[in-house]
Amino acid sequence: MGEAAGWIKAPDSGPNALQAAVIVLRSYGQVVFAAHAVSGLFLLIALATISRSTVWFSLVGIAAASLSAYAFRAERSFIRQGIFGFNGALLGIFWSWYFTVSIVSVLLLVVMAVIVYLVQSFLMNKLSLGRFNLPVMSLPSVIVLIASLLIVYWLVYNAWLIPASAIYRMGGYAAEPLIPMEGVLKSLLPGLPLPRHVVAWLLIFTGILICSRISAFAAALGALSGYAITRMLPATTGVLYTSDLFIGFNAIPVSIGLLGVFLVANGPAFFFTFAGLVVCSVFWLLLIQLFGLLNFPFLTLPFNLTILAVLITLKKMNSPPAGLYPVPLEVITTPEQIILWHKNNILPRAAVKTPETVAQLLLHPSRLFRPSREEINAVQVLVDGAEKIAVLSGAGTSTESGIPDFRGHYNFWRKFGAEDFTYQNFLNREDVRARYWAMERQFYAMILRARVNPTHQAAKWLDDQNRLSCIVTQNVDGLFQKAGVNPEKVIEIHGTEHQVRCLNCGAIGNRQDIETMFPAGIYIPYCYACYGWLKPATVLMGEELDKVLFESALSKILSSDLLIIMGTSLQVDPVASIPALAWKKGIPIIIINSTPTPQNHLSKLFIHCPTGKFFRKFLRQVEKRR
């Protein structure tokens, strides 16, 4: 543990010169969905063949955004992958189209690049983490550039604080290459008509190809499709003026995004990409009219709107249509690796087999009226005859409160890749820690909103009768205590969500106390005392249970004279071994669950019904007897 904690704390130190260079190049690479330093180097050289000011401004943007992320203690893996730097790069590229290189413009760019980080961090917290799992993409750079143009306009023409000549490109944008490859190429191939910036495009394409052949194919597809779309549309001034912007900053990114990055690359995704390009062109034409009236650039907005519209639509559907599979943000790498991940790690959809399915209800209509009066009376007799009642509960006791269990609500867990959430993975993999905390934030919010249901109220009733010896629960939500059950009688065998534990020093803290870290862009909370990583005080797969706690729970169960098992499938050891031990000691067992369990043969009474539904009727009958 000490070694793991020491390794975990290492990212707190800033980058050295080599790491900084890699971060810069990866930031460039992320512009074309390639988190590869060599791909970023090709893009940087491509920019150098177009404009020296674009190179300088983009470097300033990357440096300011990445250093801001370090200063605000953002997730280090995101910084190293260029996730924050690439919006700084885009802001610098856009900046070079409007502003000249001067002290004033550079200082303003630095300020705006810091704001780009803050905007990106805010949007990532709202959109990327938790239940939305949507990419932020280049929205921060677009938002901040538009705001920058408004601010500069006010400073120049309203406040008169800055002369226009000190910041604006008075003659408009003009290419001023740092590496004049276009002239060299024309001298080598005189008389041959060449597309504008052909060398830059070839360099960019090569950089994409180095990272991914699928992305390179998608880029070529997007370029050709974008060119065809601009030629098919009426030759209006607005369309002609923004055709390069549409192809380079919208059509190509849409094609790369839909064919392998945000959707798993396959045949349906290939054909769906054409539909995405049509949607993108519609957004493009609408924004030409809207932003043309305001005389403002819309830059990559069509691309962003298209990807968000597509992903939101697909996520709203219970099953992806025609073989389209949205990719969780936390596993996005290259299309080739995503295909491999999808093939090896996506579990088959969990088949929810409950007695409430239509076919089963047609075969067994009596289940509509469960629990029956006879079943309630049978449970009542056993409860009345016991003085020390132990309860063993599972996730099914809280589903009615809005807290998802793993088997019946698998889609919630699948979108975070929950099959990776083992204890060893949490210790050793930053991506797992980031995904786990993204899931945990949403799960904890559900717990805070959850209300007690009749199952918890029934436990409180038993406690009030002084016949409850203990509740051994696999749940981590604290709803039994919230219902008023004596906390000393509740044994949380899998821990609690209401506390966090430091993996380095072992300190225990209040879960609510770390909530302020997330809005600040900290995706993996750390201990205030020693800066070790924090983990909710719950038991992950592969993590050992507290042996003393388990033995205490088992001792109390075996000293009772009735065991009520509810809301658990009894398929996970060591809890699954408890019913057999109780049966051997002659303790009567009641099992109440929505599905049969492997231990049904040990029970004196099995109630095939959700716990909330059963105890709602049970408590009504108890009330009538008073």
Residue 357, pLDDT score: 45
- Tell me if 299 is assigned to some domain: yes
Min mean pLDDT across 6-20, 76-90, 130-144 is at 6-20
Whether the predicted pLDDT of 185 surpasses 70: no
Indicate if the pLDDT at residue 28 is higher than 90: yes
**pLDDT above 70 coverage of the chain, percent:** 83
Q: Is the pLDDT of residue 365 over 60?
A: no
Q: 618 CB contacts (<8 Å, ≥6 apart)?
A: 371, 376, 379, 380, 454, 458
CATH number of the domain enclosing 471: 3.40.50.1220
Higher pLDDT, 336 or 426: 336
Statement to judge: residues 205 and 166 lie in one domain: yes
Q: Judge if 76 and 149 occupy the same domain.
A: yes
Our CA angle for 166, 170, 172, nearest 5°, is 130
pLDDT in tens, 313-357: 887 664 455 678 888 776 788 999 888 877 765 533 333 333 344
pLDDT of residue 362: 47
User: How does pLDDT run across 273-310, given as a tens digit for each residue?
Assistant: 999 999 999 999 888 888 777 777 888 999 999 999 99
Extended strands (E) in 366-434: 389-393
2-11, 20-29, 273-282 — which is least confidently predicted? 2-11
Q: What is the mean pLDDT of residues 464-483?
A: 88
- The residue-averaged pLDDT of 388-401 equals 86
Is 277 inside any structural domain? Answer: yes
Range of the domain at 94: 1-210
- In tens, the pLDDT along 497-507 reads 888 888 888 88
Residues 174 and 52 in one domain: yes
| pLDDT-above-90 percentage for the chain | 29
Q: Which of 180, 210, 240 is a domain's end point?
A: 210
Pairing of strands 495-502, 562-566: unpaired
Domain assignment present for 317? yes
Same domain? 144 vs 109: yes
Positions annotated as catalytic residues are 494
Are 99 and 56 in contact by the 8 Å Cβ rule? The answer is no
**Residue 532 belongs to some domain of the structure:** no
- DSSP class of 414: H
CB within 8 A of 266, min separation 6: which ones?
A: 323, 325, 339
pLDDT for 192: 62
- In angstroms, rounded to a whole number, what is the distance separating the alpha carbons of residues 145 and 155? 15
Asked if residues 106 and 59 have their Cβ atoms less than 8 Å apart, the reply is: no
Q: Are residue 332 and residue 378 in the same domain, yes or no?
A: no
Strands (E), 474-588: 490-492, 495-502, 508-510, 534-538, 562-566
**287 and 181, same structural domain?**
no
Please, which pLDDT band fits residue 416 given cuts at 50, 70 and 90?
Answer: low
Averaged pLDDT for residues 568-594: 84
Residues 6+ apart with CB under 8 A from 466: none
Are residues 183 and 156 both part of a single domain? Answer: yes
Backbone CA torsion sign across 157, 161, 166, 169: negative
Residue 593 has pLDDT above 80, yes or no: yes
Give the pLDDT mean for 615-626: 81
- Res 532: pLDDT: 82
Token pair listed for 127? 């959109």
**Model pTM score:** 0.60
pLDDT score for 262: 93
Contact 65, 115 (CB under 8 A): no
Question: Do residue 311 and residue 398 come from a single domain?
Answer: no
Tally of structural domains, the chain: 3
Same domain, 162 and 28: yes
